[in-house]
């Protein structure tokens, strides 16, 4: 709700549209006309992935009892036009299944699209289902796998243990054949064009018009990356950089050896884009990307139309060379315009421009702030922008200790649950810098009702983050109403950031000895009322860093506050790959912070005081003071050469007495590990590993340095592109992560010292400190109590002596 | 050369540094000298220890309030409780007082304090939340009551941690002061006064230095001249009788014009007419032992600034609670905790106070404040407070030397307690010990403890009714779940029980204090509220004593207890339904149901107290702890015997042999008892033979003044008969045993109460039916209707 209001205010405060829609329409039609002339038939693309990629946590599905189901949600981008969709469902059913009555069926958006009998003689099978393309709608499509399972023709126990079917989610695959829709050149379409519903990470090319990047370009590209990332929400963003150059210009060698040099077609590592016969310009692109010819008058083709949209920015005098005169003349202020890619009409080029740098900055900022709220025109001129002040934690579901929150404030509406099928699920967001003491609890005060006729064994389960946490027994056969039913969960089980609470009703009808009894299920319902509330009893803003897991989950401290006012992104150079890596990482940080971080600073200089630093660059270019402060060592060839060995810290547990006295410690530090830091000097060729490392800033105490580095610029960029994908990002932990492109996950460890940030009071610090050292707490307490007793006795004796005298 | 070296080495900074250091050292030394000029080394040491004491206490409490994982806390708590229990066992078995025992006692109290502070910090921070206005008010009220209770617990612990047990100071026979014995009376029976007067005149003190005065407020001029002729005649008759009694016993009868300021006014009126150096104050029913002055006057000879020697009140009759519960001589009496522990504790802090009787005051000091003050109805405590403010000292001598009577009825008991409560609250309001000048900090602590204690009725009522607030009305008074309750509240309760057992275990069984407080609370709360609204309104009300109850009856004060009893029963029923209906609140339901159940048992005990049992014996029986041997003579037959108990009407003896064959079991004879160098010859008749032992009960067949003097000399002459051990012979049941005993007692006595109510109701009903039937038969016989 808060976010929505925020967007509206942005819309009202930011945008003044001066563009004439007629001009835009004319431009649109002319573009379309041009496209007809030159575009090829749309290519059919194929995407295939396993079912477990659609699950929040990959796992096997076990469908049990006489009837059971499992639901997936399949995203479908509005930019996609499906040609064919198929599901190959791999499953194994029980060999006790009674074939004539047992069946599995697949429903998509409520319609059955495939079914099969469950055959006891052929239990391991694969069902291939063609999903009618017209059944799938843009957005999330519900796909339900249902089973009806029986072991006899009649009179059976519906909960018999032999009634099961296992869905192998890693072998079951969904395959889509599709085309991309031709885009509409309206700024209002941007939320559709840049949407979170893709099956793959979103690729974006940011184009600049000068051969040599400047700090200003770096900052502007960062703002645009943030804007795109905001629209994408959680979908990974991979940014690449390219430069548009006019042909006549003399081309020198760029910083990156892998960038094409215009006019030197013989260079094996370069690609010449543009045809000098038709146009007076050309574009320099990374060599590996495919290039197609432009047919849009004098507009350059930008990026790789096969898989990337593009944003071109520059002042009007620089970009005019690539634009039709009519459009170039429209740039009379901060300008945002959307154009269709000529070579691939399913791709767009977003033009950000202005007459000078200030106007250019305003336009970029407008794109960032306005996000999805741009008007339904092809281009617009922005008059001004302003950004509101936002709270430190901008998440709509954020909770603070000591406050009551009605479930309705998390979007929950009063809902009637049917046994086993429905659930009430909502998300709460725990500020990432909260220290939750051991005594703290998350209290859920539930108002609910349940129907009659249920077995006393019926329950409503409460799952926290997918784990069973508590159950409410529904004992009365007549049903009942609970007001203020208190479920108290240890708050230590909450995770920083997003937490999911889910209520599920599991109600069985009252059983009778006669198995042929047909129970009524009408009463097997329960309602959760939205005026139920929850309370986090105690927490303090105090957190221990470095913690890559915390950063990966919540972006903390990089995305806190959410407006980015405490973050500085620092690149070691203005190399294309380094810059692209920084933009990509900034996009990730933006997505974790939920809103556009318009106060982030970026550059090649060190941060101003009070900001955490995200430093991106190859090892060889890292500032010496950081190399000295880092908890790892770098070898002469620039290679990381610290090897950490971690072993589980076990305790001999043979004697009862020992067990008795070791409980406190083992409870306090359940994840204790033995670390061995080895140092090996070696010489080797460059590898393609990338490193992410966090440690306390050597220049400012209490500030975090997050270092992302690799051996070379190119390996850095590839590593960062790999990093932002869900699986790798989700596996970050400790203070050092190392990965290469082939790795399934990062190897992580903790090798540096820790420090605390936040505003902890003494009580909080002490609680934290002694929680880690329980025996010290007990010893200190006993010692002070003893001293207290001794001084008491001493004073009393003095008193007694005085009485005697 | 030297110049070169100097230039090369550049000593200047070094010299400057040294000078600065010397200056600093000088400043430090001057500071120390300044402190030493004002404080002695011992004071500096004491201040240092006090500071260390404060710091360690603060750190210990702070450490307990940290959020530490529950698993660790459980180990800590279990460890503390085990250590406390072990130390308690050691302390209870340690027979010698000394340094080791001091350490053990203090350690237990310190650990208990740590658990309690931990609890109250948690209680304040986490368990009071706003749900609705009524709930919030109730929750705050409960919290305040708990804070009050814990404050009193800490004050009590500080005061009682090391009580001062004094030994008797020898009398200097060469310079004995004159002593006036003052016995104020208002409406007491002659027989009670006679015994007191006889005992007072028989005090072991030179007769020329001792005068006994009976200060009669029942026969004042105003009483004699009052308008009601019957009342005036009664007063006249009383004056005449008491004048005769004084003449017989050798005392002096004094009365005054009117009854202004009650007891204090009575004594003040006498002060101008008497001249003794010391004043022995006795209530009319307080019979002193002969050695009273021998044991106490020495203190005054030793300390010129001493204004008070207070001794315990020992009662030879049960109070209504003991009597109605049938626990007299089975458990320690209520007054023991005060006179055996609290007063010695206060004495250690030089704040023991005058309790109205069984005390000697120095007349000179009393004159300085114009006699007994009359601002409050507890003129005794007020007197002590005012003299303490003037820097005079008091002494508490723990040896009981007074034989007193308790109120017979619950109503009398309540009148007495309400007076005490009102007086103490008046003192709190009108002469607040925290603000009063001249007191030492320790005395302020002591008096605050003594006065604040009497606010307990409010706290007790809140504790009684708080579970009903939740179970019956759904008010959220205590936000906690069962785990937290077990983790914080239960350790505190166990710790407090252990500390209470350590401090008071030998004189107070578990839950008995709660019972006493609960039965008083409703009435005291009303009296205190009246005092709070108008602090000068309360007037002195005399407690009736020596009443005879011919049959059992339910006290007229029982109605409020029926209401609370029914509320608690209803709460338990409501608790059952709440447990079923609101499973989400089961934790709090379990806690409050347990609490309500405990309250119910206390109220059931209260119902037992409210069934007044009959009291047939008119003269109190005195159990003798010292063996007094004598001879029973029936003509020629002589039987050796030992006295077991004695009263003014008879005696029970243990025979040295079986009753001689042929001797009439109902014989009359003479009991010969040696009293000092003389032998008392008491004519007796046998009234009962006891089968369990060779013992007989005898009644005195003749009663003259001389015989009465013999009886008083035998029974009340020796204070050793009043040794506390008489009532401490019963074994202390311990925490669990005491708890079980109490529950069983409450069930039995409440059952007896309810049975009595049913019986009485049935009898009443049957009488009515019978009456109606008789009337119907009469009418039928006469053919009417």
CB contact under 8 A, A484 and B56: no
Separation between Cα atoms, residue B714 and residue B651, nearest integer Å: 11
CB contacts under 8 A, A 390-449 vs B, are 437-441, 445-446
Higher pLDDT, A630 or B292: B292
Give contacts of A663 with chain B, Cβ < 8 Å: 71, 75
Q: How many CB contacts within 8 angstroms connect chain A with chain B?
A: 146
The pLDDT of residue B554 is 84
Per-residue buried b or exposed e for A663-674, using 16+ beta carbons within 10 Å of the residue's own CB = ebbebbeeeeee
- What value of ipTM does the predicted structure carry? 0.73
CB contact under 8 A, B67 and A767: yes
The pLDDT of residue B9 is 52
Nearest-CB residue to B102 (from A476, A774, A793): A793
Judged by average pLDDT, the poorest of A14-18, A656-660, B52-56, B509-513 is: A14-18
Q: Which helix (H) or strand (E) holds A63?
A: strand A61-64
CB contact under 8 A, A668 and B70: no
Q: Reduce the secondary structure of A71-123 to three states and give it as a string.
A: EEEEEECCCEEEEEEEEEEEEEECCCCCCCCCEEEEEECCEEEEEEECCCCCC
What backbone phi and psi angles, to 5 degrees, belong to B377? -85, -5
* Alpha-carbon distance B54 to nearest alpha carbon in chain A (angstroms): 8
Nearest-CB residue to B68 (from A483, A774, A795): A774
How many CB atoms neighbour CB A755 within 10 A?
15
The pLDDT of residue A11 is 33
CB contact under 8 A, A797 and B107: no
The pLDDT of residue B311 is 94
CB contact under 8 A, B69 and A774: yes
The pLDDT of residue B690 is 81
Separation between Cα atoms, residue B577 and residue A167, nearest integer Å: 46
Separation between Cα atoms, residue B499 and residue B355, nearest integer Å: 27
How many CB atoms neighbour CB A584 within 10 A?
25
User: Which residues neighbour B634 within 8 Å (Cβ) at sequence distance 6 or greater?
Assistant: B663, B667, B668, B669
Give yes or no for a contact between B684 and B634, defined as CB atoms under 8 angstroms apart.
no
Cis omega before residue A546 (within 30°)?
Answer: yes
Taking 70 as the threshold, does the pLDDT of residue B374 lie above it? yes
Nearest-CB residue to B107 (from A437, A777, A789): A789
How many CB atoms neighbour CB B354 within 10 A?
25
The whole-model pTM stands at 0.69
Strand-pair category, A540-545 with A434-435 = antiparallel
The pLDDT of residue A751 is 80
B-interface mutation test, from A788, A795, A798, most B Cβ less than 10 A away: A788
Give contacts of B483 with chain A, Cβ < 8 Å: 488
Q: Edge-to-edge strand order for the sheet containing B306-310?
A: B252-254, B210-216, B179-185, B278-281, B359-362, B306-310, B393-396
Reference B186, options B98, B264, B276, B93; nearest CA is: B264
Nearest-CB residue to B68 (from A438, A785, A793): A438
A478 to chain B: nearest residue by CA?
A: B581
Taking 70 as the threshold, does the pLDDT of residue B511 lie above it? yes
Residue recorded with tokens 């709090």: B588
The pLDDT of residue A643 is 54
Nearest-CB residue to B75 (from A440, A664, A791): A664
CB contact under 8 A, B102 and A766: no
Give contacts of B588 with chain A, Cβ < 8 Å: 486
CA angle (B389 as vertex; B383, B393 as ends), nearest 5: 75
A-interface mutation test, from B56, B488, B495, most A Cβ less than 10 A away: B56
Give yes or no for a contact between B190 and B244, defined as CB atoms under 8 angstroms apart.
no
Active-site residues of B, by number, are 217, 380
Give yes or no for a contact between B118 and B112, defined as CB atoms under 8 angstroms apart.
no
Give yes or no for a contact between A598 and A611, defined as CB atoms under 8 angstroms apart.
no
Both tokens assigned to A344: 């691939």
Asked if A643 reaches chain B (Cβ–Cβ under 8 Å), the answer is no
DSSP state of A622: S
pLDDT tens-place string over residues B543-577: 665 555 567 788 888 889 999 999 999 999 999 98
Confidence of residue B601 (pLDDT cuts 50, 70, 90): very high
Give contacts of B126 with chain A, Cβ < 8 Å: 439, 537-538
Give contacts of A785 with chain B, Cβ < 8 Å: 56, 60, 107, 110-111, 114
CB contact under 8 A, A486 and B56: no
Both tokens assigned to A98: 């009674």
The pLDDT of residue A36 is 30
Nearest-CB residue to A485 (from B50, B52, B582): B582
Give yes or no for a contact between A206 and A240, defined as CB atoms under 8 angstroms apart.
yes
The pLDDT of residue A803 is 65
Taking 70 as the threshold, does the pLDDT of residue B740 lie above it? yes
Instruction: Indicate the average pLDDT of chain B.
Output: 86
Separation between Cα atoms, residue A597 and residue A394, nearest integer Å: 11
Give the mean pLDDT of B243-267. 92
Give yes or no for a contact between A549 and A734, defined as CB atoms under 8 angstroms apart.
yes
Strand partners, A694: A706
Nearest-CB residue to B110 (from A472, A771, A788): A788
User: Which residues neighbour B14 within 8 Å (Cβ) at sequence distance 6 or greater?
Assistant: none
Judged by average pLDDT, the poorest of A760-764, B181-185, B740-744 is: A760-764
Taking 90 as the threshold, does the pLDDT of residue B288 lie above it? yes
How many CB atoms neighbour CB B770 within 10 A?
10
CB contact under 8 A, A781 and B75: no
DSSP state of B332: -
Which spans in A614-725 are helix H? 624-629, 656-668, 713-723
Separation between Cα atoms, residue B279 and residue B266, nearest integer Å: 14
Give yes or no for a contact between A328 and A296, defined as CB atoms under 8 angstroms apart.
no
CB contacts under 8 A, A 769-788 vs B, are 770-771, 774, 777-778, 780-781, 784-788
Q: Where on the phi/psi map is residue A385: left (φ > 0), alpha (ψ -120 to 50), or beta?
A: beta
DSSP state of B631: E
Run means of pLDDT, 10 residues per run, chain A, 805 residues: 36 31 34 36 80 82 88 90 93 90 92 92 92 92 92 80 91 92 86 87 84 86 92 89 57 33 30 32 36 31 54 87 78 89 77 92 88 82 82 82 90 85 87 81 89 81 89 83 85 88 85 60 83 88 88 88 90 90 93 85 91 91 86 62 55 49 42 51 62 90 91 88 89 87 75 78 79 84 86 80 67
Strand-pair category, A704-710 with A690-696 = antiparallel
A475 to chain B: nearest residue by CA?
A: B580
Cis omega before residue B519 (within 30°)?
Answer: no
* Alpha-carbon distance A755 to nearest alpha carbon in chain B (angstroms): 20
CB contact under 8 A, B481 and A488: yes
Q: Which of A30-34, A482-486, B334-338, B592-596 has the highest mean pLDDT?
A: B592-596
B-interface mutation test, from A781, A790, A796, most B Cβ less than 10 A away: A781
The pLDDT of residue A582 is 95
Q: Reduce the secondary structure of A731-763 to three states and give it as a string.
A: CCCECEEEECCCCCCCEEECCCCCEEEECCCHH
Give contacts of A798 with chain B, Cβ < 8 Å: 46, 49
The pLDDT of residue A508 is 77
Separation between Cα atoms, residue B258 and residue A613, nearest integer Å: 93
The pLDDT of residue B428 is 92
Nearest-CB residue to A795 (from B53, B59, B63): B53
Judged by average pLDDT, the poorest of A737-751, A784-798, B178-192, B228-242 is: A737-751
pLDDT tens-place string over residues B617-674: 567 778 777 778 889 888 888 888 988 888 888 898 888 888 887 778 788 889 998 8
Cis omega before residue A163 (within 30°)?
Answer: no
Separation between Cα atoms, residue A51 and residue A72, nearest integer Å: 8
CB contact under 8 A, A664 and B72: yes
Provide the strand spans (E) within A184-272. Answer: 202-208, 237-246
Give contacts of A784 with chain B, Cβ < 8 Å: 56, 59-60, 63
CA angle (A804 as vertex; A800, A805 as ends), nearest 5: 120
The pLDDT of residue A668 is 39
A772 to chain B: nearest residue by CA?
A: B68
Q: Reduce the secondary structure of A164-195 to three states and give it as a string.
A: EEEECCCCCEEEEEEEECCCCCCHHHHHHHCC
pLDDT tens-place string over residues B347-365: 988 999 999 999 999 999 9
Q: Which of B113-122, B582-591, B665-674 has the highest mean pLDDT?
A: B113-122
The pLDDT of residue B74 is 86
Nearest-CB residue to B67 (from A439, A488, A780): A439
Strand-pair category, A567-571 with A601-603 = parallel
Cα-based distances in Å from A663 to A697, B69, B70: 37, 11, 12
* Alpha-carbon distance B587 to nearest alpha carbon in chain A (angstroms): 9
Judged by average pLDDT, the poorest of A677-681, A711-715, B171-175, B676-680 is: A677-681
Which spans in B435-585 are helix H? 441-452, 456-471, 482-484, 490-504, 512-533, 559-581
The pLDDT of residue A685 is 53
CB contact under 8 A, B67 and A441: no
Separation between Cα atoms, residue B386 and residue B447, nearest integer Å: 12
CB contacts under 8 A, A 488-527 vs B, are 488
* Alpha-carbon distance B697 to nearest alpha carbon in chain A (angstroms): 48
| Secondary structure class of B723 (helix, strand, coil) | coil
Give contacts of A668 with chain B, Cβ < 8 Å: 69, 72
Give the mean pLDDT of B367-381. 90
Taking 70 as the threshold, does the pLDDT of residue B771 lie above it? yes
């Amino acid at each position: 709700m808060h976010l929505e209001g925020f967007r509206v205010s942005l819309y009202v405060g930011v945008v003044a549209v001066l563009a004439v829609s007629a001009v835009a329409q004319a431009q649109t039609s002319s573009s379309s006309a041009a496209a007809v002339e030159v575009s090829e038939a749309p290519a059919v693309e194929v995407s295939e992935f396993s079912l477990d990629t659609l699950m929040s946590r990959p796992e096997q599905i076990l469908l049990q009892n006489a009837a059971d189901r499992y639901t997936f949600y399949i995203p479908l981008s509005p930019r996609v036009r499906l040609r064919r969709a198929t599901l190959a469902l791999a499953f194994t059913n029980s060999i006790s299944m009674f074939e004539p009555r047992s069946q599995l069926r697949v429903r998509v958006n409520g319609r059955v699209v495939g079914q099969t009998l469950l055959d006891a003689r052929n239990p391991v099978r694969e069902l291939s289902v063609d999903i009618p393309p017209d059944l799938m709608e843009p957005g999330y499509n519900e796909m339900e796998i249902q089973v009806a399972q029986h072991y006899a023709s009649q009179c059976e126990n519906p909960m018999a243990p032999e009634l099961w079917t296992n869905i192998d989610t890693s072998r079951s695959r969904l395959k889509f054949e599709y085309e991309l829709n031709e885009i509409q050149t309206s700024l209002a379409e941007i939320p559709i064009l840049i949407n979170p519903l893709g099956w793959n990470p979103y690729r974006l090319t940011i184009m600049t018009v000068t051969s040599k990047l400047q700090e200003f370009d770096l900052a502007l590209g960062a703002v645009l990356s943030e804007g795109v990332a905001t629209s994408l929400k959680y979908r990974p963003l991979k940014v690449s950089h390219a430069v548009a150059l006019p042909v006549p210009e003399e081309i020198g060698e760029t910083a990156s050896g892998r960038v094409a040099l215009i006019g030197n077609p013989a260079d094996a590592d370069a690609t010449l884009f543009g045809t000098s016969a038709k146009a007076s310009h050309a574009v320099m692109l990374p060599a590996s990307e495919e290039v197609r010819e432009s047919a849009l008058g004098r507009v350059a083709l930008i990026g790789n139309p096969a898989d990337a949209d593009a944003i071109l920015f520059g002042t009007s005098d620089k970009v005019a060379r690539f634009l039709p005169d009519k459009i170039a003349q429209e740039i009379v202020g901060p300008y945002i315009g959307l154009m269709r890619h000529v070579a691939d009409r399913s791709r767009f080029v977003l033009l950000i421009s202005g007459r000078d740098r200030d106007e250019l900055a305003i336009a970029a900022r407008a794109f960032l702030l306005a996000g999805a709220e741009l008007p339904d025109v092809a281009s617009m001129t922005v008059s001004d922008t302003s950004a509101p002040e936002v709270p430190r934690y901008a998440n709509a579901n954020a909770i603070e200790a000591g406050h009551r929150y009605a479930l309705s404030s998390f979007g929950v509406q009063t809902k009637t649950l049917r046994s086993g099928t429905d659930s009430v699920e909502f998300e709460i967001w725990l500020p990432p810098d909260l220290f939750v003491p051991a005594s703290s609890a998350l209290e859920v005060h539930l108002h609910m009702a349940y129907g009659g006729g249920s077995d006393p064994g019926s329950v409503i389960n409460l799952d926290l983050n997918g784990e069973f946490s508590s159950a409410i027994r529904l004992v009365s056969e007549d049903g009942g109403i609970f007001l203020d039913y208190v479920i108290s969960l240890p708050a230590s089980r909450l995770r920083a950031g997003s937490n999911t609470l889910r209520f599920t009703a599991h109600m069985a009808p009252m059983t009778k000895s006669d198995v042929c009894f047909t129970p009524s299920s009408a009463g097997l319902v329960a309602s959760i009322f939205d005026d139920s509330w929850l309370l986090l009893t105690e927490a303090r803003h105090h957190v221990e860093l470095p913690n890559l897991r915390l950063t990966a989950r919540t972006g903390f401290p990089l995305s806190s506050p959410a407006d980015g006012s405490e973050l500085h992104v620092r690149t070691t150079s203005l190399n294309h790959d380094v810059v692209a890596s920084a933009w990509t990482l900034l996009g990730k940080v933006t997505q974790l912070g939920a809103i556009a971080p318009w106060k982030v600073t970026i550059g090649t200089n060190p941060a101003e005081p009070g900001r955490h630093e995200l430093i991106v660059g190859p090892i060889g270019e890292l500032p010496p003071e950081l190399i000295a402060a880092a908890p790892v060592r770098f070898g002469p060839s620039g290679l990381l050469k610290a090897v950490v060995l971690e072993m589980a810290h076990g305790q001999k547990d043979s004697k009862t007495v020992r067990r008795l006295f070791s409980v406190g410690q083992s409870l306090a530090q359940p994840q204790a590990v033995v670390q061995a830091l080895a140092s090996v000097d070696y010489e080797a060729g460059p590898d393609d590993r990338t490193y992410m490392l966090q440690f306390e800033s050597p220049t400012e105490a209490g500030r975090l340095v997050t270092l992302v580095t690799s051996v070379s610029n190119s390996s850095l960029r590839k590593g960062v592109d790999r990093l932002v994908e869900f699986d790798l990002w989700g596996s970050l932990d400790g203070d050092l992560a190392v990965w290469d492109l082939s790795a399934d996950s990062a190897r992580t460890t903790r090798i540096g010292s820790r420090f605390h940030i936040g505003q902890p009071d003494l009580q909080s610090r002490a609680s934290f400190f002694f929680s880690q050292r329980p025996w010290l707490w007990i010893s200190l307490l006993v010692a002070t109590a003893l001293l207290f007793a001794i001084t008491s006795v001493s004073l009393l004796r003095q008193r007694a002596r005085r009485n005697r005298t | 050369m030297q110049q070169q070296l100097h230039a090369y080495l550049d000593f200047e900074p070094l010299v400057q540094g040294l000078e600065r250091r010397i200056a600093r050292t000088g400043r430090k030394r001057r500071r120390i000298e300044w402190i030493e000029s004002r404080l002695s080394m011992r004071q500096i040491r004491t201040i240092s220890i006090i500071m260390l004491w404060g710091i360690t206490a603060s750190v210990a409490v702070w450490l307990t309030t940290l959020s530490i994982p529950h698993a660790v806390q459980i180990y800590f708590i279990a460890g503390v409780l085990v250590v406390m229990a072990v130390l308690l066992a050691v302390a209870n078995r340690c027979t010698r007082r000394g340094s080791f025992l001091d350490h053990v006692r203090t350690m237990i109290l310190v650990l208990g304090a740590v658990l309690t502070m931990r609890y109250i910090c948690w209680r304040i921070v986490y368990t009071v939340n706003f749900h609705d206005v009524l709930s919030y008010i109730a929750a705050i009220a409960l919290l305040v009551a708990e804070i009050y209770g814990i404050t009193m617990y800490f004050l009590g612990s500080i005061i009682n941690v090391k009580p001062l047990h004094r030994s008797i100071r020898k009398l200097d026979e060469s310079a004995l002061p004159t002593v006036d014995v003052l016995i104020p009376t208002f409406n007491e029976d002659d027989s009670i006064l006679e015994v007191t007067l006889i005992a007072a005149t028989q005090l072991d003190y030179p007769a020329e230095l001792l005068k006994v005065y009976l200060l009669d407020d029942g026969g004042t001029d105003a009483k004699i001249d009052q308008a009601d002729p019957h009342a005036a005649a009664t007063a006249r008759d009383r004056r005449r009788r008491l004048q005769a009694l004084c003449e017989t016993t050798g005392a002096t009868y004094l009365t005054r014009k009117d009854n202004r300021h009650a007891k204090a006014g009575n004594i003040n009126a006498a002060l101008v007419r008497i001249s003794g150096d010391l004043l022995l104050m006795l209530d009319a029913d307080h019979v002193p032992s002969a050695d009273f002055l021998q044991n106490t006057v020495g203190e005054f000879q030793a300390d010129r600034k001493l204004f008070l020697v207070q001794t315990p009140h020992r009662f030879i009759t049960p109070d209504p609670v003991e009597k109605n519960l049938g626990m007299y001589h089975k458990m320690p009496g209520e007054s023991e905790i005060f006179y055996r522990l609290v007063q010695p504790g206060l004495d250690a802090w030089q704040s023991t106070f005058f309790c109205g009787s069984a005390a000697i005051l120095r007349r000179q000091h009393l004159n300085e404040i114009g006699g007994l003050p009359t601002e409050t109805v507890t003129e005794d405590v007020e007197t002590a407070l005012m003299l303490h403010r003037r820097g005079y000292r008091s002494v508490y001598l723990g040896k009981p030397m007074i034989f007193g009577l308790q109120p017979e009825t619950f109503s009398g008991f309540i009148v007495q307690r309400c007076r005490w409560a009102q007086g103490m609250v008046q003192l709190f309001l009108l002469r607040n010990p925290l603000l009063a000048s001249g007191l030492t900090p320790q005395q302020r602590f002591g008096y605050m403890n003594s006065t604040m204690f009497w606010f307990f009725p409010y706290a007790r009522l809140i504790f009684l009714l708080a579970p009903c607030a939740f179970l019956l009305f759904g008010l959220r008074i205590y936000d906690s779940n069962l785990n937290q309750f077990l983790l914080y509240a239960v350790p505190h309760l166990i710790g407090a029980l252990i500390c209470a057992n350590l401090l008071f275990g030998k004189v107070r069984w578990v839950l008995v204090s709660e019972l006493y407080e609960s039965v008083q609370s409703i009435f005291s709360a009303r009296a205190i509220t009246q005092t709070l609204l108008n602090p000068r309104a309360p007037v002195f009300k005399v407690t009736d004593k020596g009443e005879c109850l011919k049959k059992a009856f339910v006290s007229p004060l029982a109605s409020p207890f029926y209401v609370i009893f029914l509320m608690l029963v209803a709460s338990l029923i409501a608790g059952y339904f709440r447990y079923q209906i609101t499973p989400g609140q089961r934790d709090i339901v379990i806690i409050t149901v347990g609490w309500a159940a405990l309250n119910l048992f206390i109220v059931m005990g209260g119902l037992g107290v409210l069934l007044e049992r009959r009291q047939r014996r008119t003269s109190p029986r005195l159990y003798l702890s010292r063996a007094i041997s004598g001879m029973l003579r029936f003509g020629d037959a002589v039987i050796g015997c030992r006295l077991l108990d004695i009263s003014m009407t008879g005696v029970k003896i243990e025979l040295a042999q079986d009753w001689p064959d042929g001797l009439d079991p109902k014989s009359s004879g003479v009991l010969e008892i040696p009293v000092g160098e003389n032998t008392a010859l008491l004519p007796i008749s046998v009234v009962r033979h006891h089968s369990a032992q060779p013992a007989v009960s005898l009644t005195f067949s003749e009663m003259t003044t001389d015989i009465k003097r013999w009886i008083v000399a035998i029974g009340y002459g020796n204070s050793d008969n009043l040794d506390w051990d008489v009532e401490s012979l019963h074994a202390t049941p311990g925490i669990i045993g005491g708890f079980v005993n109490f529950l069983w007692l409450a069930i039995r006595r409440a059952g007896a109460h309810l049975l009595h109510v049913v019986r009485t109701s049935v009898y009443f009903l049957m009488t009515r039916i019978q009456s109606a039937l008789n009337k119907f038969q009469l009418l039928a016989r006469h053919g009417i209707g």
